[in-house]
């Protein structure tokens, strides 16, 4: 996606010739000149003013409150509103009453036993088998058969055994009996229930915990009646069902046992969960005008007064004066941030797009922070400081991330609900987020960052509670907020980055990693259509990446820029020496000026192709800047040697520029030049390579190509030293195989680019 229109002021094109026209086009697309005078500070001043106004709106000074509150029993002469969020204790007698109500509302706990149900069903099956077997022995009398059943099962009376033996359909009776037995035991038979007015009980079993209505349970004295109802529901007549209930009663033992220990523990937990404080939100009415104050109202007003005194509620001075003083302090903090930015990351102040984005990001976090602090259920750990640290680091690098984290924590600390612990937690979480987002190369690093940030949040909550000596009430909720906030921040950041990046004009490491894949369509096309340029780009990428790492530049950006820096050659690959493969040279039939025009056109073509594929601006900048305004010496000297009387202008043989504006593009310029120069060496020994590298770097520096890139002399020396080992390895000597003819010199190469 193409970013927003470029802000800033454009440099004037170079005067004279065809090179000037190309320079004007490329500079209009890529280059900005710094403003002078008051315009340079117009955008920073406007952003600072907007932040001061937003801060005053979100975090105003605590309004003055008449602390002469009425006492209990008096009539309130005005509405008293909470100027800030605060907590007020609840009366001791109310706490005790609520605790008692909570304990009584907690249902008793019963434990389910598995053996009674299994034993009862096994015993009933034994009854059924014995009665069915004895019912078929008609050679003996019914009384004798009943006595035999009574001997096996003493719990069955003789008359009940005789009646069971005389049943017309024993199978149907015992099927109904089994269903009734299962139903009653599944509902539960309780040994004893404690006194109290409750409708439900908690049942603990191996399968977990369940809540049941007391009405579904059967007490021991009600078992026979429950069995009768269940057998009637199974299809038996009332009289056999009533007899069957009495017959099955000895089989049913309690399978729910009252647990006094579990009940006591749960009721104590319910008692401890009763809040001992009430949370008031900012603007909430504490006392209504014309209402007689109760003891609880007086206690609320005392808590409000103590909170205002602890927060430093001033005793005099107008609110406007106090707000002006605070705004001046906030402005001072912003000016300090601007001074630090001008020293360590001035690009943030010079580019309006970056400055506006940073301001919007900071403003959004201030709005979200004020909303979280105004709701006690969210609190300070829900403030998305980790999101700010992540986005600021990915978009503007780690220095900006650290500075913006410190600035955000400082601005949020002015909130009335922010304490010392909250400020410390913001600093820790924000700085950790910046540290872990500095160099993201793999997806697993996001998971590691989430885990560490969530763990740090939980630890901070525990330390804060331990240091303050607070009760454990609400600890789990606060830990849950602290653990989930980083997860939500990282997820939201990953969603926003692809949207924000092109509009800000920056390129994150994640985007660069995607672009470094050689399966990118442009790179695959280059590998098929211009193999020499493709190989050249890879070699230059290795050289430039190693050199960027040596001077602390962005090595990943440098490597990606090297891969795409010559994509403009795809339009006419046969006009560049690395793609000719020893074939005829098309420039032999062209005039030097026309050859220079064809070669220089690959810069404009590359920019157009890069924009067509929506490459980031940071990568597009490598296409014109790696050549700068350097002269194509081969064609220039060829034009001078012509016998025509035409005037030869050196500007007609210059690349359109601009000169390198960053360390990364300057490093690529040097890598591109030394790769071509060393390839033309007859015997590329390390000593000769070192000499050529030094000559190329000195020539570029003396021509002024490195004036605006930010490289120091020490950096240039480090870049040269980083080139030499790699070039020596690329051009290493090989032992000739038998039958091969050794050449004294390597093929002559010409660098037209």
Contacts of 752 (CB under 8 A, 6+ apart): 576, 577, 587, 595, 599, 632, 634, 635
Decide which of 196 and 222 is more confident: 222
Decide which of 504 and 26 is more confident: 504
Q: pTM score, two decimals?
A: 0.58
Decide which of 688 and 650 is more confident: 688
- Taking the CA atoms of residue 432, residue 434, residue 435 and residue 437 in that order, the dihedral angle to the nearest 10 degrees is 120
Q: What is the pLDDT of residue 312?
A: 57
pLDDT of residue 21 exceeding 60 = no
Across 492-512, average pLDDT: 83
Q: What is the pLDDT of residue 448?
A: 86
Please report, rounded to a whole number, the percentage of residues in the chain having pLDDT higher than 70: 87
Across 285-307, average pLDDT: 86
Across 344-350, average pLDDT: 88
pLDDT of residue 749 exceeding 70 = no
Cβ contact 81:283 at 8 Å: yes
- In 165-261, DSSP assigns E strands to 189-190, 200-205, 208-213, 218-219, 256-258
Decide which of 16 and 380 is more confident: 380
pLDDT of residue 27 exceeding 80 = no
Lowest mean pLDDT among 76-90, 254-268, 522-536: 76-90
d(Cα 736, Cα 742) in Å, to the nearest integer?
Answer: 7
- 218 forms beta bridges with 189
Look at residues 12, 16, 91, 7 and name the one whose alpha carbon lies nearest to residue 42.
Answer: 7
In the predicted model, what is the mean pLDDT of the chain?
82
Cβ contact 718:550 at 8 Å: yes
Q: What is the pLDDT of residue 734?
A: 62
Q: Token match 């960053």: residue? A: 662
Across 345-352, average pLDDT: 87
Which tokens sit at 450? Answer: 């989430």
Look at residues 408, 411, 423, 405 and name the one whose alpha carbon lies nearest to residue 326.
Answer: 411
pLDDT tier, 63 (very low <50, low <70, confident <90, very high otherwise): low
Lowest mean pLDDT among 131-145, 377-391, 614-628: 131-145
Q: Token match 């304490």: residue? A: 419
pLDDT tier, 469 (very low <50, low <70, confident <90, very high otherwise): low
Which tokens sit at 639? Answer: 């034009």
pLDDT tens per residue, range 639-648: 777 756 677 7
Alpha helices in 249-318 (DSSP H): 260-272, 295-310
Q: Where are the domains of the chain?
A: 34-59+317-506, 105-270, 511-730
Instruction: Tell me which H or E stretch contains 290.
Output: none
- Taking the CA atoms of residue 275, residue 279, residue 285 and residue 288 in that order, the dihedral angle to the nearest 10 degrees is 30
CATH number for the domain formed by residue range(s) 511-730: 1.10.3210
Task: Print the SS3 string covering 355-393.
Answer: HHHHHHHHHHHHHHHHHHHCCCCCCHHHCCHHHHHHHHH
Decide which of 402 and 155 is more confident: 402
pLDDT tier, 408 (very low <50, low <70, confident <90, very high otherwise): very high
pLDDT of residue 535 exceeding 80 = yes
- Exposed e or buried b for every residue in 118-143, given b needs 16+ CB within 10 A? eebeebbeebbebbeebbeeeeeeee
- Long-range contacts made by residues 62-65, C-beta under 8 angstroms, separation at least 24? 62/308, 62/311, 62/313, 62/416, 63/319, 64/313, 64/314, 64/319, 65/304, 65/308, 65/313
d(Cα 527, Cα 750) in Å, to the nearest integer?
Answer: 22
Instruction: Tell me which H or E stretch contains 728.
Output: helix 713-730
Q: What is the pLDDT of residue 401?
A: 92
Q: What is the pLDDT of residue 184?
A: 86
Q: Token match 């504006």: residue? A: 661
pLDDT tens per residue, range 267-281: 999 898 888 888 888
pLDDT tens per residue, range 89-132: 999 898 899 988 888 888 999 998 877 778 888 888 888 888 88
pLDDT of residue 744 exceeding 60 = no
Q: What is the pLDDT of residue 170?
A: 81
Lowest mean pLDDT among 335-344, 380-389, 497-506: 497-506
pLDDT of residue 577 exceeding 80 = no
Q: What is the pLDDT of residue 668?
A: 93
Across 8-19, average pLDDT: 34
Lowest mean pLDDT among 230-244, 349-363, 689-703: 230-244
- 9 forms beta bridges with 33
Q: Token match 């926003």: residue? A: 496
């Amino acid at each position: 996606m193409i970013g927003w229109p470029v802000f800033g002021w454009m440099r004037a094109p170079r005067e004279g010739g065809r090179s000037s026209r190309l320079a004007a086009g490329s500079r209009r697309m890529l280059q900005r000149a710094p403003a002078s005078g008051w315009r340079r500070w117009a955008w920073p001043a406007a952003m600072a003013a907007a932040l001061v106004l937003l801060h005053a709106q979100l975090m105003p000074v605590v309004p003055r409150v008449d602390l002469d509150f009425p006492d209990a029993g008096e009539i309130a002469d005005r509405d008293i509103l909470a100027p800030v969020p605060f907590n007020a204790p609840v009366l001791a007698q109310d706490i005790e009453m609520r605790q008692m109500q909570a304990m009584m509302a907690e249902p008793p706990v019963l434990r389910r036993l598995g053996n009674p149900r299994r034993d009862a069903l096994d015993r009933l099956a034994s009854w059924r088998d014995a009665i069915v077997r004895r019912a078929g022995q008609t050679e003996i009398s019914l009384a004798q058969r009943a006595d035999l059943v009574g001997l096996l099962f003493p719990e069955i009376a003789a008359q009940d055994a005789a009646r069971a033996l005389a049943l017309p359909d024993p199978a149907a009776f015992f099927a109904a009996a089994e269903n009734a037995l299962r139903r009653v035991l599944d509902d539960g038979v309780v040994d004893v229930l404690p006194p109290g007015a409750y409708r439900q009980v908690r049942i603990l079993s191996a399968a977990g915990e369940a809540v049941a209505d007391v009405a579904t349970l059967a007490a021991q004295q009600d078992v026979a009646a429950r069995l009768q109802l269940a057998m009637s529901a199974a299809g038996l007549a009332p009289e056999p069902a009533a007899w069957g209930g009495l017959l099955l009663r000895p089989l049913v033992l309690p399978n729910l046992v009252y647990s006094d220990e579990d009940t006591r523990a749960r009721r104590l937990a319910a008692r401890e969960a009763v809040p001992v404080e009430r949370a008031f939100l900012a603007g909430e009415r504490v006392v209504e005008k014309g209402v007689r104050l109760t003891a609880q109202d007086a206690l609320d007003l005392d808590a409000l007064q103590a909170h205002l005194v602890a927060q430093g509620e001033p005793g005099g001075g107008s609110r406007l004066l106090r707000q002006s003083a605070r705004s001046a302090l906030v402005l001072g903090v912003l000016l300090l941030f601007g001074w630090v930015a001008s020293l360590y990351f001035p690009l943030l102040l010079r580019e309006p797009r970056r400055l506006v984005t940073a301001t919007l990001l900071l403003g959004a976090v201030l709005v979200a922070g004020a909303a979280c602090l105004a709701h006690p259920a969210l609190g300070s750990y829900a403030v998305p400081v980790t999101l700010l640290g992540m986005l600021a680091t990915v978009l503007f690098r780690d220095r900006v991330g650290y500075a913006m984290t410190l600035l955000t924590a400082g601005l949020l600390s002015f909130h009335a609900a922010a304490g010392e612990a909250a400020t410390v937690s913001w600093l820790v979480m924000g700085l950790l987020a910046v540290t872990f987002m500095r160099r993201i190369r793999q997806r697993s690093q996001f998971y590691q960052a989430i885990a560490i940030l969530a763990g740090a949040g939980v630890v901070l909550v525990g330390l804060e509670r331990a240091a303050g000596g607070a009760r454990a009430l609400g600890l789990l909720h606060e830990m849950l907020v602290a653990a989930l906030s980083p997860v939500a921040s990282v997820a939201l950041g990953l969603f926003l980055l692809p949207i924000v990046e092109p509009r800000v004009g920056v390129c994150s490491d994640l985007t660069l990693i995607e672009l470094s894949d050689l399966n990118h369509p442009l790179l695959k096309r280059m590998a098929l259509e211009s193999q020499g340029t493709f190989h050249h780009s890879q070699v230059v990428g290795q050289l430039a990446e190693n050199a960027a790492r040596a001077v602390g530049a962005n090595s990943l950006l440098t490597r990606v820029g090297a891969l795409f820096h010559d994509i403009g050659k795809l339009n006419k690959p046969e006009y560049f020496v690395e793609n000719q493969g020893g074939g005829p040279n098309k420039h032999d039939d062209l005039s030097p000026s026309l050859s220079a025009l064809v070669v220089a056109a690959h810069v404009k073509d590359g920019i157009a192709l890069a924009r067509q594929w929506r490459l980031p601006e940071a990568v597009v900048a490598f296409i014109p800047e790696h050549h700068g305004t350097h002269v194509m010496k081969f064609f220039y000297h060829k034009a001078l040697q012509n016998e025509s009387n035409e005037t030869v202008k050196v500007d007609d043989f210059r690349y359109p520029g601009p000169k390198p504006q960053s360390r990364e593009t300057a490093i690529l310029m040097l890598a591109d030049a030394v790769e071509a120069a060393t390839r033309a060496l007859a015997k590329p020994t390390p000593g000769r390579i070192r000499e050529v590298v030094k000559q190329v770097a000195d020539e570029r520096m003396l021509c002024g190509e490195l004036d605006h890139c930010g490289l120091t002399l020490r950096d240039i020396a480090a870049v040269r030293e980083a080139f030499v080992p790699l070039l020596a390895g690329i051009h290493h000597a090989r032992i000739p195989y038998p039958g091969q003819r050794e050449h004294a010199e390597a093929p002559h190469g010409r660098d037209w680019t």
